[in-house]
């Protein structure tokens, strides 16, 4: 076999393929019954790993040429990874929660520099594996990497099923293994820590923290909460866009009502802003400003190893400690899978006592007499 740096010619049932280099990138030229198709393979010339990838793509094209499938390629053969993600963010992202949209934006900061200009059909499982190794070497957490891969997998699914950009054989994320995650983080605020934290933050942050601790809302759900989703009469709020995509109604206890009622009475909506929690200019609070303020308050309160998301753990943990049924906790937290909630069950050993006390016999196990009769016979 000729080295890959050479031009390579193949003929199969009237079809001819030429692989060649141009401006440091591998190209292919295909002739078929008088038709000519020439395109970039999206692979740079130079490294051995890239040469192997070019061979793989070349082999894939050659197989499709021989089988007569190549010229039936969908529109995606002319699209890049960036084209796909641009459409994904324009059409799909607005349908998910604000928190998920932020996650998508953060993921793209890592995905685009690596995959951006690659043709969709040139993205293979080998290329994805290379990306995984790179991100882990950079210190990315497995959970972060998995979110990035899940996002791209969803985009490829849309490109296949809705946009018809690719065929079923061109979905590289099919059955791609994800990284093993450790989701057993079990950090919540003790009562004294919670008190110190609330004492060492500004008023606007204190309102958000109290509301979070008493509703279990995610950061994005809090910041995106609008007045038209608040029902003061029923003391509930409606979260339209959640992580699992299903709306949920959250009841408000008195602590949460004490935060939201004064804000309503102040006619915040006169500022032409529908958001419940706003900055000093009446605008929606930026999540980065929130995180910065939270980090400052945590430091000032001398609390270690606590994140804003851990306030959800506080909410679920304290409910469990007070004996609330695990299924109620799951409903309040918006957990679609009960297994997400079961990790809090070890916090309520005393609440489990009711579960065994119902089995207690109403007779004395020594005399087999009714407890009431036994007690009266001793008088």
Task: Write down the pLDDT at residue 237.
Answer: 92
Task: Write down the pLDDT at residue 312.
Answer: 86
What is the number of alpha carbons within 13 Å of residue 141 lying toward its C-beta?
Answer: 6
Mean pLDDT of 330-342: 74
Query: What H or E segment, with its residue span, contains residue 210?
Result: helix 203-215
Q: How confident is the model at residue 351 (pLDDT cuts 50, 70, 90)?
A: low
Confidence check: pLDDT of 210 > 70: yes
* Residue range(s) of every CATH 1.10.150.130 domain in the chain: 78-170
CATH number of 78-170: 1.10.150.130
* Residue range(s) of every CATH 1.10.443.10 domain in the chain: 191-348
Sheet holding 35-44, edge to edge: 8-12, 15-22, 25-32, 35-44
Instruction: State the chain's mean pLDDT as an integer.
Output: 76
Three-state DSSP class for 123? coil
Q: How confident is the model at residue 268 (pLDDT cuts 50, 70, 90)?
A: very low
Question: What is the 3-state secondary structure of 5-38?
Answer: CCCEEEEECCEEEEEEEECCEEEEEEEECCEEEE
Q: What is the pLDDT of residues 128-177, one digit of tens each?
A: 888 988 888 787 888 888 889 999 989 988 888 777 787 765 566 666 67
Name the CA dihedral angle for 360, 366, 370, 375, rounded to a multiple of 10 degrees. -110
43 against 261, higher pLDDT: 261
In degrees, rounded to 5, the angle at the alpha carbon of residue 288 between the alpha carbons of residues 95 and 88 is: 25
Break the chain down into helix, strand, coil percent, rounded to 5.
50, 15, 35
Q: How confident is the model at residue 77 (pLDDT cuts 50, 70, 90)?
A: low
Tokens coding 155: 């985009």
Query: Residues in the chain, how many?
Result: 379
Percent of the chain with pLDDT over 70: 65
366 against 85, higher pLDDT: 85
Task: Write down the pLDDT at residue 338.
Answer: 66
Specify the DSSP class assigned to residue 276: S
What is the number of alpha carbons within 13 Å of residue 118 lying toward its C-beta?
Answer: 21
Question: Which fold is adopted by the domain 191-348?
Answer: hpI Integrase; Chain A (1.10.443)
CA 320 to chain CA centroid, nearest Å: 25
Per mean pLDDT, which range of 13-22, 59-68, 298-307 is the poorest?
A: 13-22
Task: Write down the pLDDT at residue 236.
Answer: 92
């Amino acid at each position: 076999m000729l080295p890959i740096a050479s031009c390579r010619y193949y003929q199969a049932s009237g079809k001819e393929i030429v692989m060649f280099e141009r401006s440091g990138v591998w190209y292919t030229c295909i002739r078929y019954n008088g038709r000519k198709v020439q395109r970039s393979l999206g692979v740079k010339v130079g490294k051995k790993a890239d040469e192997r990838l070019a061979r793989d793509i070349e082999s894939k094209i050659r197989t499709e040429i021989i089988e007569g499938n190549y010229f039936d390629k969908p529109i995606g053969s002319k699209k890049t990874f960036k084209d796909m993600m641009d459409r994904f963010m324009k059409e799909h992202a607005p349908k998910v929660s604000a928190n998920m949209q932020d996650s998508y934006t953060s993921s793209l900061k890592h995905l685009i520099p690596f995959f951006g200009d690659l043709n969709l059909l040139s993205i293979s499982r080998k290329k994805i594996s290379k990306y995984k190794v790179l991100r882990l070497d950079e210190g990315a957490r497995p959970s972060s990497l998995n979110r990035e891969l899940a996002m791209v997998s969803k985009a490829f699914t849309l490109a296949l099923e809705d946009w018809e950009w690719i065929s079923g054989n061109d979905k590289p994320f099919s059955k791609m293994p994800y990284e093993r995650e450790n989701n057993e983080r079990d950090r919540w605020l003790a009562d004294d820590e919670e008190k110190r934290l609330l004492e060492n933050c500004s008023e606007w942050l204190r309102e958000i923290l109290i509301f979070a601790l008493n509703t279990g809302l995610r950061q994005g759900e809090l910041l995106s909460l609008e007045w038209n989703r608040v029902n003061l009469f029923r003391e509930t709020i409606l979260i339209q866009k959640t992580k699992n995509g299903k709306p949920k109604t959250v009841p408000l206890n008195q602590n949460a009502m004490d935060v939201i009622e004064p804000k309503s009475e102040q006619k915040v909506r006169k500022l032409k802003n529908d958001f419940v929690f706003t900055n000093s200019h009446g605008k929606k609070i930026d999540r980065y400003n929130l995180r910065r303020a939270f980090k400052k308050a945590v430091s000032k309160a001398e609390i270690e190893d606590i994140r804003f998301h851990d306030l959800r753990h506080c909410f679920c943990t304290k409910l469990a400690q007070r004996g609330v049924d695990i299924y109620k906790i799951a409903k309040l937290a918006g957990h679609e899978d009960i297994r997400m909630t079961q990790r809090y069950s070890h916090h309520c050993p005393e609440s489990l006592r009711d579960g065994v006390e119902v089995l207690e016999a109403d007779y004395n196990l020594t005399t087999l007499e009714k407890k009431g009769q036994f007690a009266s016979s001793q008088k």
